[in-house]
């Protein structure tokens, strides 16, 4: 029996029945990583204590302890999530040797829940990118076709789950960085509502957009992982008390009957060049309708500004969040300086990659006093986008769209063109702007490559989003 | 049109340096991005408040317990330390 | 020729709260270097700030004592710049919406009427770390990083060294009595910068403003003002003017020396602090503090403002 091909909930069943032990599961995955990861490069670091931790879990289980939801399961973490005593590099030379002295809140939750962190996964440097090509530790290949990108920025986590190197993984999503790689790798990728999962210990990219989210091979797995990490955290001022609300989906068959689904007209106007992809969305709409849901095309007029609004605000936030990388208390420090300015300039210029520098430059420009009116304006447009969604959710349960206008593509095909990179996030940024929950789930193939369906739920209405997703998942089996 | 000198000024503020070729590259890309950004200025936002909260008010901390890191944990990631201080070359003007 | 001296003061006061303003490191003076730090006040990646309730209460107490208008919502902003003692590369402060606006401190100069020195604002911010400069290196200690400060900015109502000293004494006494700070200049829990220029009352000619830093005592403040008054006056009489600049007070030589030219000031790129959404001050808290102050005042019979 190949334990690495089983889903998390299937592994759980085998743990409960004592058919396998946590050590069996972790060992199987470590062996597979050993054989397969040199091809894929999903992992930057592995947890050397993973087997020892699995042994501990097995001991506790044999003493009669009840099996928690993620207990004994190997979980991969994107390498911008801080793990105590385990290198956290953010895919950057700047943090190549950084060993954090503390754990992120989500890591504490995993440890408390008995989950086993198997390793830290590759990412675009500091989570900035959508291809997995900007990492200091090399690119991550798509397990479905290794000439192609796995997507980004959470490419490593997506590839890990898609290649059966871990059943569950965490990523972060600021403008689509979980959903797009989920789409490219044929997985479920879920970004929770802003404030549902604590950001304490998650290296900030754009702090009013960032959320930790999950990858799983199906919705049940994704929900399992989500429940393992969500919850109110007093150390994060943006954490919401609503995150303690239970998120569950009942097993009733009729998830979709009577559900009201909105498709943004504006996205239809920004349809992908590949007609095959657009056709898949139309097929998905038919599935929903056949299952008893009502699907309408609805206008969210300010969505056409979403990408620019995202670009401006996120760049401004990034530039400020990246200022702490100065080489003094931690991180790369240049050997070559004779003044304080040189210390900063050389440490940062040596330690940070091109894409990161570009966004810092953009953000610094936007925050400077002569140009500050631009990001102040963008913050108002953001409100308008939020209001558009608010209005729609008064009448509709969920909003759906394509996850991304592209199929997974070859390496270096869109390198160096920042605008092309951003356009990939066309459909995903809105959920980050408005703080909504959103997920991508597989909806078939075009040219043998996976296409993702995006479902966007209202704030803290993960239940509706998951209901819609589960209904769709079941309908297409 | 963003000028080269403006790019250099921004680089100084951001504490980054680039070679001439990169400065030119940035100047071009910068200009493109900025033109895109300016489109946002045309949107009608009369009477609209900027988004400062996604979810409403945060909370205050009110704890009795103090907590700090052990000093060796604090210092372990720096290149140079002395007597418990972070050390850099003397950069006093 | 009659010259009028115009002085505004910028005072930073360390609040004597139990914890630092954004984390629960102890707020104590004199500990071993870097023994009172944590991911938040070190600016480690991933760390997040949470605003301290006691710090807010102390700031409100101070504002009420000086008759300021207290805001109903706390807005925090980032002040972006690079310096060794600033671990995040930005300081969390308040830009356009300080927690207290206006207010005044009443002083009594001998032989004159009482005078109100009006305040422009009082805002909250976090303190930076400290540096020591040695032969072969600069040493940085982040124990002080994240200590809560209030910055009190006066309007340019002060017109002499005596008035400045009286103002500082009154300010200090008030803050000490309401229990929000140790206000010891020698320990750094009270710091003062001076902004000064003079006006020729006949011609209306004004000198450029000089900022004076590195003042370590109230006496130093007085002497620095007198030194600058003279320096400005002499330049005007020579047909010249001061340069708009920052100078530091040298307590040993009893003079000010140029620190840096103020023109081309740093662009702080202020932006809202995204990790701390605007916080509505809990209903009734201001009233509660006011009531507590009134009864405190009555029990000690210290004449505070009403």
CA distance C19 to chain B (A): 7
Distance CA(A53)–CA(A181), nearest Å, equals 29
Where chain C has pLDDT below 50, the residues are 262-263, 301-302, 304-306
| Contact residues on chain B for A97, CB-CB shorter than 8 A | 77
Instruction: Provide the 10 A C-beta neighbour count for residue C166.
Output: 22
- How does B24-44 read in b/e, with b if 16+ C-beta sit within 10 Å? ebbbebbeebbeebeebeebe
pLDDT tens digits, residue range B42-51? Answer: 999 999 999 9
Q: Is residue A125 a contact partner of residue A116, using CB atoms and an 8 Å limit?
A: no
pLDDT computed for residue A422 by the predictor? 65
DSSP state of C218: H
pLDDT computed for residue B84 by the predictor? 95
pTM of the model: 0.96
CA distance B20 to chain C (A): 24
Q: Which pLDDT band, with edges at 50, 70 and 90, does B64 fall under?
A: confident
pLDDT tens digits, residue range C149-168? Answer: 999 999 999 999 999 999 99
| Contact residues on chain A for B13, CB-CB shorter than 8 A | 364, 368
Q: Closest partner residue to C33 among B60, B83, B92, by Cβ?
A: B83
**SS3 at position C15:** coil
Does the pLDDT of residue B32 top 90, yes or no? Answer: no
For A237, the closest chain B residue by CA position comes to: B58
Q: Does the distance separating the beta carbons of C87 and A236 come in below 8 Å?
A: no
pLDDT computed for residue C306 by the predictor? 40
**SS3 at position B22:** helix
List active site positions of A.
Answer: 78, 153, 177
C279 touches chain B (CB under 8 A): yes
SS3 of chain A? CCHHHCCHHHHHHHHHCCCCCHHHHHHHHHHHHHHHHHHHCCEEEECCCHHHHHHHHHHHHHCCCCCCCCCCCEEEEECCECECCECCCCCCHHHCCCCCCCCCHHHHHHHHCCCEEEEEECCCHHHCCCCCCCCCCCCCEECCEEEEECCCCCHHHHHHHHCCCCCEEEEEECCCCCHHHHHHHCCEEEECCCCCCCCCCECCCCCCCCEEEEEECCHHHHHHHHHHHCCCCCCCCCCCHHHHCCCCCCCCCCCCCCCEEEEEHHHHHCCCCCHHHHHHHHHHHHHHHHCCCEEEEECCHHHHHHHHHHHHHHHHHHHHHHHHCCCCCCCCCCCCCCCHHHHHHHHHHHHCCHHHHHHHHHHHHHHCCCCHHHHHHHHHHHHHHHHHHHHHHHHCCEEEEECCCCCCCECCCCCCCHHHHHHCCCCCHHHHHHCCEEEEEEEEEECCEEEEEEEEECCCCHHHHHHHHHHHHHHCC
B91 touches chain C (CB under 8 A): yes
Half-sphere exposure of B66 (CA within 13 A, CB side): 15
- Percent of the residues in chain A that have a pLDDT greater than 90, as a whole number: 90
Q: Closest partner residue to B51 among A98, A234, A379, by Cβ?
A: A379
Q: Is residue C92 a contact partner of residue C74, using CB atoms and an 8 Å limit?
A: no
CA distance B48 to chain A (A): 6
pLDDT tens digits, residue range A90-140? Answer: 999 999 999 999 999 999 999 999 999 999 999 999 999 999 999 999 999
Strands C210-215 and C73-74: unpaired
Higher-pLDDT residue of A255 and A451 is A451
**B/C interface, count of CB pairs below 8 Å:** 110
How does the average pLDDT of chain B come out, rounded?
Answer: 90
B18 touches chain A (CB under 8 A): yes
B5 touches chain A (CB under 8 A): no
**Going by C-beta distance under 8 Å and a sequence separation of 6 or more, which residues neighbour residue A93?**
A136, A332, A350, A351, A352, A353
Distance CA(B77)–CA(A98), nearest Å, equals 6
pLDDT computed for residue B71 by the predictor? 94
Does the pLDDT of residue A45 top 90, yes or no? Answer: yes
| Contact residues on chain B for A345, CB-CB shorter than 8 A | 15-17
pLDDT computed for residue B63 by the predictor? 87
Residues in chain B: 93
CB < 8 Å & 24+ apart, contacts of C111-114: none
Chains that touch C (3 or more CB pairs under 8 A): A, B
CA distance C53 to chain A (A): 13
Q: Does the distance separating the beta carbons of B50 and A380 come in below 8 Å?
A: yes
Distance CA(A133)–CA(A148), nearest Å, equals 11
Distance CA(A84)–CA(A69), nearest Å, equals 23
At residue C271, φ and ψ (nearest 5 deg) are -150, 155
pLDDT tens digits, residue range A173-203? Answer: 999 999 999 999 999 999 999 999 999 999 9
ipTM: 0.95
A361 touches chain C (CB under 8 A): no
CA distance C9 to chain A (A): 25
C36 touches chain B (CB under 8 A): yes
Higher-pLDDT residue of B2 and A208 is A208
| Contact residues on chain A for C277, CB-CB shorter than 8 A | 237-238
pLDDT tens digits, residue range A12-27? Answer: 999 999 999 999 999 9
pLDDT tens digits, residue range A274-306? Answer: 899 999 999 999 999 999 999 999 999 999 999
Q: Does the distance separating the beta carbons of C42 and A368 come in below 8 Å?
A: no
| Contact residues on chain B for C269, CB-CB shorter than 8 A | 13
pLDDT computed for residue B93 by the predictor? 58
| Contact residues on chain A for B70, CB-CB shorter than 8 A | 101
Does the pLDDT of residue A307 top 60, yes or no? Answer: yes
Distance CA(B3)–CA(B24), nearest Å, equals 10
């Amino acid at each position: 029996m190949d334990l690495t091909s089983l889903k998390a909930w299937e592994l759980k069943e085998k743990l409960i029945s004592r058919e396998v032990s946590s050590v069996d599961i972790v060992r199987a995955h470590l062996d597979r990583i050993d054989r397969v990861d040199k091809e894929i490069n999903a992992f930057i670091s592995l947890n050397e204590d993973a087997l020892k931790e699995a042994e501990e879990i097995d001991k506790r289980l044999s003493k009669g302890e009840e099996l928690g939801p993620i207990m004994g399961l190997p979980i991969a973490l994107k390498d911008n999530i801080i793990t105590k005593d385990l290198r956290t590099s953010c895919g950057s030379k700047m943090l190549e040797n950084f060993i954090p002295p503390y754990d992120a809140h989500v890591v504490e939750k995993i440890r408390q829940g008995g989950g086993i962190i198997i390793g830290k996964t590759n990412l675009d440097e500091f989570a900035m990118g959508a291809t997995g090509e900007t990492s200091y530790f090399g690119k991550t290949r798509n397990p479905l076709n290794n000439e192609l990108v796995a997507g980004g920025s959470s490419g490593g986590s997506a590839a890990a789950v898609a290649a059966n190197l871990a059943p569950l993984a965490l990523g972060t999503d600021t403008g689509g960085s979980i959903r797009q790689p989920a789409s490219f790798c044929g997985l479920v990728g879920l970004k929770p509502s802003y404030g549902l999962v604590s950001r304490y210990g998650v290296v900030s990219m754009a702090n009013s957009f960032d959320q930790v989210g999950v990858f799983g091979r199906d919705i049940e797995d994704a929900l399992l992982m989500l429940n393992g990490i969500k919850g109110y955290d007093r150390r994060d001022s943006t954490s919401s008390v609503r995150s303690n609300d239970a998120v569950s989906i009942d097993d009733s068959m009729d998830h979709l009957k009577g559900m009201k689904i909105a498709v943004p007209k504006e996205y239809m106007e920004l349809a992908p060049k590949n007609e095959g992809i657009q056709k898949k969305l139309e097929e998905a709409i038919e599935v929903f309708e056949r299952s008893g849901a009502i699907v309408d095309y609805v206008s969210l007029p300010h969505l056409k500004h979403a990408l620019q609004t995202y670009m401006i605000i996120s760049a401004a936030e990034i530039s400020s969040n990246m200022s702490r990388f100065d080489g003094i208390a931690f991180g790369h420090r240049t050997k070559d300086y004779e003044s304080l300015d040189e210390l900063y300039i050389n440490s940062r210029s040596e330690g940070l990659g091109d894409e990161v520098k570009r966004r810092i430059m953009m953000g610094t420009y936007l925050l400077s006093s002569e140009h500050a009116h631009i990001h102040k304006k963008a913050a108002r447009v953001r409100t308008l986008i939020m209001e558009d969604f608010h209005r729609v959710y008064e009448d509709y349960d969920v909003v759906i769209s394509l996850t991304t206008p592209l199929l997974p593509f070859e390496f270096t095909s869109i390198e160096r063109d920042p605008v092309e990179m951003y356009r990939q996030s066309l459909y995903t940024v809105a959920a980050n702007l408005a703080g909504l929950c959103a997920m991508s789930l597989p909806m078939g193939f075009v040219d043998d490559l996976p296409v993702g369906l995006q479902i966007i739920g209202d704030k803290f209405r993960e239940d509706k989003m998951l209901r819609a997703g589960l209904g769709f998942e079941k309908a297409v089996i | 049109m963003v000028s080269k000198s403006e790019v250099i000024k921004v680089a100084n503020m951001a504490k980054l340096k680039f070679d001439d070729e990169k400065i030119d590259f940035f100047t071009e890309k910068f200009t493109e991005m900025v033109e895109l950004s300016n489109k946002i200025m045309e949107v009608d936002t009369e009477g609209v408040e900027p988004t400062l909260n996604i979810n409403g008010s945060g909370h205050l901390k009110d704890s009795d317990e103090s907590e700090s890191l052990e000093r060796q944990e604090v210092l372990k990631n720096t290149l140079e330390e002395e007597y418990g201080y972070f050390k850099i070359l003397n950069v006093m003007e | 020729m009659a010259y009028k001296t115009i002085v505004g003061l910028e005072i930073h006061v360390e609040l004597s709260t139990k914890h630092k303003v954004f984390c629960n490191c102890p707020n104590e003076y004199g500990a071993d270097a870097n023994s009172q730090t944590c991911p938040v006040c070190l600016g480690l990646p991933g760390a997040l700030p949470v605003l301290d309730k006691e710090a807010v209460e102390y700031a409100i107490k101070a504002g009420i004592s000086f008759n300021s208008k207290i805001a109903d919502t706390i807005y925090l902003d980032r002040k972006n710049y690079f310096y060794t003692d600033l671990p995040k590369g930005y300081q969390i402060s308040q830009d356009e919406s300080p927690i207290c606006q206006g207010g005044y401190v009443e002083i009594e100069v001998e032989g004159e009427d009482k005078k109100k020195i009006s305040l422009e604002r009082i805002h909250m911010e976090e303190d930076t770390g400290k540096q020591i400069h040695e032969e072969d290196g600069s040493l940085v200690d982040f124990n002080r990083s994240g200590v809560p400060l209030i910055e009190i900015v006066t309007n340019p109502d002060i017109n002499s060294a005596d008035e400045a000293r009286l103002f500082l004494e009154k300010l200090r006494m008030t803050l000490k009595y309401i229990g929000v700070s140790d206000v010891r200049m020698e320990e750094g829990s009270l710091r003062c910068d001076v902004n000064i220029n003079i006006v020729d009352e006949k011609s209306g000619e004004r000198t450029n403003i000089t900022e004076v830093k590195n003042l370590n005592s109230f006496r130093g403040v007085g002497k620095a003002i007198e030194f600058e008054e003279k320096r400005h006056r002499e330049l005007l009489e020579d047909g010249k003017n001061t340069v708009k600049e920052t100078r530091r007070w040298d307590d040993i030589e009893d003079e000010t020396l140029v620190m840096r030219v103020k023109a081309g000031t740093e662009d702080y790129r202020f932006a809202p602090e995204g990790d701390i959404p605007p916080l509505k001050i809990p209903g009734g808290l201001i009233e509660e503090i006011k009531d507590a102050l009134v009864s405190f005042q009555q029990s000690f019979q210290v004449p505070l403002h009403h």
